[in-house]
Amino acid sequence: MKHYSAFAVAREALRYHMGWERAWASPEPKKKYDVIIVGAGGHGLATAYYLGKNFGITNVAILEKGWLGGGNTGRNTTIIRSNYLQDPSAAIYEKSRSLYETLSQDFNYNIMYSPRGVIMLAQTEHEVRGYQRTAHANALQGVTTEFISPARVKEIVPIINLDGPRYPVLGGLWQARAGTARHDAVAWGYARACSAMGMHIIQKCEVTGISRDGAKVTGVTTNRGDIACDKLGLVVAGHSGHLADMAGFRLPIESVALQALVSEPIKPCMDCVVMANTVHGYMSQSDKGEMVIGGGTDGYNNYTQRGSFHHAEETVRALVETFPMVARLKMLRQWGGIVDVTGDRSPILSKTPVDGIFINCGWGTGGFKAIPGSGWGFAELMAKGHSPLCDEFGLDRFYQGRFIDESVAAGVAH
């Protein structure tokens, strides 16, 4: 793999950019791999990457029914933060956030990580207390956050209206090293690094069946033939229920559409991410100048990758009181993804009832931020059978009633 550098850019500029190689290879599938990962989203690719990097396991195929990063990874609003309430969540999200800090250097590929800061607004007395509690929990967990006053919120976000008649801004939970990254670049960076280790990324390869020998997995059936494996990782977000069904077990998970929209591009006006969880909306500004706006999930289960008009309207209406300037913006485009939501709003990183099959899902509306940490932990789980980052997120928690409840702490859990 050629090294990307300023020198390489200059060299290629002099020869009409004819010397760049493809970022990743597109090989034909082999008959057998040590490990197959289903799903080339961020979590699947990161798992493969850390299997190779941390455990030397490189006879790996990542099978993707569409194009890599074309699922939720390429459809999200890219918020990265780790200000969760429960200890297991803070551990995995903070590991992830800290890996994001140096991911561009690790990959030699710019993922445009921008630690611009994230504020979660407190707009009711109850929310003030809730976020103060989260700030205290974060201090114990080693996650740097602080509860800030309305005046400080205004200083950081001059375009905000603090005195909304229904929901005045009473303060906010501020994480200064939280931020955003370019979502496609995260997928592409992992893919390039996996390919460089000799792993096979096979796009347009849909898994349609899972074969077993008794209780043990033996491989998968795909639209490009049968492929055998010793271990199988299912990392397919909103399609996890289908894949579990193919393997013969059930998951406590729902699939729903989550959508977002961007406005027309405008001059720079907000250089951090603001989440207003009471009214259910959040906003940041992209490098192109678009206001990136997201809200909650559709209120019914579905598999449409688009979302409904009424939800876009609700989200914008929710934000107008706090950001009056939104009322003057034109919407440029809207899109949706199918997210996989668990009852306690925490992920599942687990062995399954089938020997050799592991599942990584349930990131719901907030898994982009978790990609490096999840890949790190899930690779360890697949390689060694357990991982300190994942052990609490096993499927057994649903049998034991040992929930990791982030539904309130995470609010609009992006």
Ligand X SMILES: Cc1cc2nc3c(=O)[nH]c(=O)nc-3n(C[C@H](O)[C@H](O)[C@H](O)COP(=O)(O)OP(=O)(O)OC[C@H]3O[C@@H](n4cnc5c(N)ncnc54)[C@H](O)[C@@H]3O)c2cc1C
Residues that bind ligand X (CB under 6 A): 38-44, 63-66, 70-73, 75-79, 206-207, 235-237, 239, 258-260, 294, 337, 339, 363, 365-369, 414
Residue placing its CB nearer to ligand X in the complex, 109 or 378: 378
How far does CA 187 lie from the centroid of its chain? 11
Residue placing its CB nearer to ligand X in the complex, 84 or 131: 84
* Residue 132 CB partners (closer than 8 Å, separation 6+): 147
Q: What is the dihedral sign for C-alpha 94, 73, 378, 191?
A: negative
* C-beta of residue 186 within 8 angstroms of C-beta of residue 371: yes
| Nearest distance, CB of residue 41 and ligand X, angstroms | 2
| Nearest distance, CB of residue 43 and ligand X, angstroms | 4
Quote the strand ranges of 176-266, DSSP E.
179-180, 200-202, 207-213, 216-222, 225-234, 253-265
Nearest residue (beta carbon) to ligand X? 41
- Can you tell me the distance from the alpha carbon of 96 to that of 94, in angstroms, rounded to the nearest whole number? 5
Residue placing its CB nearer to ligand X in the complex, 129 or 300: 300
Residue placing its CB nearer to ligand X in the complex, 41 or 372: 41
Name the nearest CA neighbour of 59 among 190, 234, 194: 194
Residue placing its CB nearer to ligand X in the complex, 132 or 334: 334
Name the nearest CA neighbour of 243 among 225, 271, 259, 222: 222
Residue placing its CB nearer to ligand X in the complex, 65 or 351: 65
- Integer CA distances (angstroms), 33 to 37, 43, 199, 213, 230, in order: 10, 19, 10, 17, 7
| Nearest distance, CB of residue 121 and ligand X, angstroms | 16
Name the nearest CA neighbour of 212 among 251, 240, 249: 249
Residue placing its CB nearer to ligand X in the complex, 95 or 369: 369
| Nearest distance, CB of residue 349 and ligand X, angstroms | 11
- Can you tell me the distance from the alpha carbon of 219 to that of 211, in angstroms, rounded to the nearest whole number? 5
| Nearest distance, CB of residue 101 and ligand X, angstroms | 16
